[in-house]
Amino acid sequence: MVRVGVDAGVRDELLKGFPPEATFVRIPSQPAEAMEVDFWLLPFFRKDAPQVFQNLRGVKVVQSMMAGVDWILPWLPKDVTLCDGRGIHDTSTSEYVLAAILAAQKRFPLYRDRQNRQEWRNLGDSGDELIDSGGANTSLYKVMQDDLSGKTVLIVGYGSIGAAIERRLKAFDANVLRIARRARPEPVVHAIGALPELLPQADIVVLIVPITQETKGLIGAAELALMKRGALLVNASRGPVVATGDLVSALEEKRIRAVLDVVDPEPLPVGHALWTAPNCFITPHIGGATPGFIVRGFKLAAEQVRRFAAGEPLDNVVTEDGY
């Protein structure tokens, strides 16, 4: 038998796909006594996880249902196997990124603001420098939005989510450039060292890297300066990947645009300059949060428990690289 630790509030229907070897141990937010668990499921970020872990005995595997495990690494003992949620965010986060790109290209946040003010006014009347500089033909008509078709999208962090983003972009005839920690031949993925070379080529830059010592501050003043004037930055990774002060400066100078699902600091305090920065749309870290995400997470967990019970290698084991 495998003692599987789950949150006390997990619904029974989410546990139906687990193998018969699984015995569930429901863990309250504040355990009153020590609890024996072999395999602990962490369905989402929980601040009390280090304290709860102190009350667990016999833990051999911790399965996170989030792609990022940076919040777990500091307190989890090295002799406990940690597995991340790689794959379960592919659908929700890639759809978020595509929606962010389309909304920004079509200027939906701007028009929503105008709807709230009951203003019938298009971009051609606004003096929007970024969109009005779209080429020689823009003087012939009022430019009110932009296309995704034909644009070059640079995906920084080409893992399973990055690949899912590319699959969705193909339907819009976008060109894709790829960057990962290491270069790969098929499809062509560039190493992270190629970032300065590829940034000037991109109309849209998508950040989907894990947070590690190497990726903190990956995008700063130098990198933002390499982006095309009017290019769009979409951050769906972690806030500290981008140097906030440098991003605010680039936005206030109206050199780039941004859609941010993550920021640094997070939550973003009232009065922070990012709230009012021009050409910036912010969502409160919701890119992976859909009903389907939790179903996919428990499906992954069930398969991992089956592997564990059968003595098979686990998927998504986190290495010293942090992912």
Q: What is the DSSP string of 174-234?
A: -EEEEEESS-BTTTTBEEGGGHHHHGGG-SEEEE-PPP-TTTTT-B-HHHHHHSPTT-EEE
Residue 136's pLDDT is: 55
Q: What pLDDT band is residue 81 in, cutting at 50, 70 and 90?
A: very high
In this prediction, what percent of the chain has a pLDDT beyond 90?
80
Q: What pLDDT band is residue 128 in, cutting at 50, 70 and 90?
A: low
Residue 131's pLDDT is: 57
Pairwise pLDDT comparison (131 vs 64), residue with the higher score: 64
Tens of pLDDT, residue by residue over 22-54, are 999 999 888 889 999 999 999 777 788 999 999
> For 190-214, what is the mean pLDDT?
96
Residue 126's pLDDT is: 46
Q: What pLDDT band is residue 137 in, cutting at 50, 70 and 90?
A: low
Is the bond preceding 31 in cis, omega lying within 30 degrees of 0? no
If we measure between CA atoms, which residue out of 58, 93, 318 comes closest to residue 206?
93
If we measure between CA atoms, which residue out of 201, 199, 196, 207 comes closest to residue 260?
207
Q: Reading across the β-sheet that carries 190-191, which strands appear in turn? A: 190-191, 175-180, 152-156, 204-207, 232-235, 257-260, 280-282
Residue 127's pLDDT is: 45
Q: Please list, residue by residue across 138-152, b when 16 or more beta carbons sit within 10 angstroms of its beta carbon and e when fewer do.
A: eeeeebbebebeebb
The amino acid at residue 181 is: R
In this prediction, what percent of the chain has a pLDDT beyond 70?
93
Tokens linked to 28: 């309250």
Give bridge partners of residue 175 from the DSSP assignment.
Answer: 152
> For 280-308, what is the mean pLDDT?
94
Q: Which helix (H) or strand (E) holds 260?
A: strand 257-260
Q: Are 221 and 255 in contact (CB under 8 A)?
A: no
Q: Which helix (H) or strand (E) holds 156?
A: strand 152-156
Q: What pLDDT band is residue 301 in, cutting at 50, 70 and 90?
A: very high
C-alpha radius of gyration, the chain, whole number: 22
Q: Which helix (H) or strand (E) holds 280?
A: strand 280-282
Catalytic residues: 238, 266, 285
Domains in the chain, CATH or no CATH each: 2-86+289-310 (3.40.50.720), 90-106+146-282 (3.40.50.720)
In whole angstroms, what is the distance from residue 45 CA to residue 30 CA? 16
In whole angstroms, what is the distance from residue 152 CA to residue 160 CA? 20
Q: Are 5 and 28 in contact (CB under 8 A)?
A: no
In whole angstroms, what is the distance from residue 234 CA to residue 4 CA? 37
Pairwise pLDDT comparison (58 vs 66), residue with the higher score: 58
- Name every residue whose Cβ is closer than 8 Å to that of residue 121 and which is 6 or more positions away in sequence: 114
Tens of pLDDT, residue by residue over 231-250, are 999 999 999 999 999 999 99
Helix axis angle, 291-310 to 90-105, nearest 10°:
150
Residue 130's pLDDT is: 64
In whole angstroms, what is the distance from residue 98 CA to residue 261 CA? 13
Tell me the pTM: 0.89
Residue 48's pLDDT is: 86
Q: For residue 141, report the phi and psi dihedrals to the nearest 5 degrees.
A: -160, 170
Residue 167's pLDDT is: 98
Tens of pLDDT, residue by residue over 164-175, are 999 999 999 999
In whole angstroms, what is the distance from residue 264 CA to residue 241 CA? 9
- Name every residue whose Cβ is closer than 8 Å to that of residue 182 and which is 6 or more positions away in sequence: 189, 191
